[in-house]
Amino acid sequence: MNQREYIAMKIGSLPSDRRSLLKAVGVGAVGIAGMPMLAACTTQSAPAGAGSSDPGASGTPSASLLPAPEPQVKPLLDQQKVNDALAKLDGMVQSAMESTGVPGVAVAVVYRDQMLYAKGFGVRESGKPETVDADTVFQLASVSKPLASTVAAVAVGRKAISWTEPVINHSPGFALKDPYVTRNATAADLLSHQGGLKTGAGDLLEDLGFDQSYILSHLNQQPLDFFRSSYNYSNFGYTAGALAVADAMKLPWADLAEEVLFKPLGMTSTSYRHADYQKASNRALIHVPAGNKTWVAKYSRDADAEAPAGGASSSVHDLARWIRLQLANGSFEGKEVIDPDALGVTHVPHAVSGPPPTPAARTRFYGLGWNVSYDDHARLSLGHSGAFNLGAATAVSLLPGEQLGIVALTNGRPQGIPEAICAAFLDTAQNGAPTVDWLGFTAGVFQKIDEAEKPKVDYSKTPPRVEPARGNDFYVGSYANSYYGPLSVAVESGVLSLELGPAGRTTKFALKHFDGNTFSFESIGENANGLAGAIFAPGADGAGGTASSVRLDFYDQTGLGTFTRG
Same domain, 433 and 476: no
pLDDT at 482: 98
Same domain, 400 and 541: no
Under 8 Å between Cβ of 413 and 439: no
pLDDT at 507: 98
pLDDT digits (tens, 9 = 90+) for 117-142: 999 999 999 999 999 999 999 999 99
Under 8 Å between Cβ of 234 and 193: yes
pLDDT at 31: 27
Same domain, 481 and 401: no
The low-confidence residues of the chain, meaning pLDDT below 50, are 1, 3, 19, 22-63
- As a dihedral over the C-alpha atoms of residue 187, residue 154, residue 328, residue 384, rounded to 10 degrees, the angle is 40
- The whole model's pTM is what? 0.90
> Three-state secondary structure along 452-464?
HCCCCCCCCCCCC
Same domain, 394 and 476: no
Same domain, 395 and 485: no
Final residue in a domain of this structure, among 420, 452, 484: 452
Query: Residue 528 sits in a domain of what CATH number?
Result: 2.40.128.600
| Domain assignment present for 74 | yes
Q: In b/e form, how buried is each residue of 231-247, taking b as 16+ CB within 10 angstroms? A: bbbbbbbbbbbbbbbbb
pLDDT at 65: 65
Whole-angstrom Cα distance, residue 549 to residue 531? 20
Under 8 Å between Cβ of 256 and 217: no
Query: Residue 289 sits in a domain of what CATH number?
Result: 3.40.710.10
| Domain assignment present for 389 | yes
- Positive or negative CA dihedral for 509, 510, 512, 515? positive
Whole-angstrom Cα distance, residue 323 to residue 259? 18
Where are the alpha helices (H) located in 262-394, listed in sequence order? 263-265, 274-279, 316-327, 340-346
Same domain, 270 and 416: yes
Q: In b/e form, how buried is each residue of 67-97, taking b as 16+ CB within 10 angstroms? A: beeeeeeeeebeeebbeebbebbeebbeebb
Final residue in a domain of this structure, among 418, 452, 486: 452
Longest Cα separation, the chain: 80
Same domain, 368 and 484: no
| Domain assignment present for 75 | yes
| Domain assignment present for 269 | yes
pLDDT digits (tens, 9 = 90+) for 183-208: 999 999 999 999 999 999 999 999 99
| Domain assignment present for 465 | no
Report the SS3 class of residue 259: helix
Same domain, 309 and 342: yes
- As a dihedral over the C-alpha atoms of residue 321, residue 323, residue 324, residue 330, rounded to 10 degrees, the angle is 110
| Domain assignment present for 459 | no
| Domain assignment present for 495 | yes
Same domain, 445 and 505: no
Closest CA to 139 of 417, 394, 422: 394
Other C-beta atoms closer than 10 Å to the C-beta of 456 total 6
Q: How many CA atoms lie within 13 A of 379 on its CB side?
A: 23
Print the domain residue range for 515: 472-565
pLDDT at 416: 95
Report the SS3 class of residue 522: strand
DSSP assignment of 80-111 equals HHHHHHHHHHHHHHHHHHHHH--SEEEEEEEE
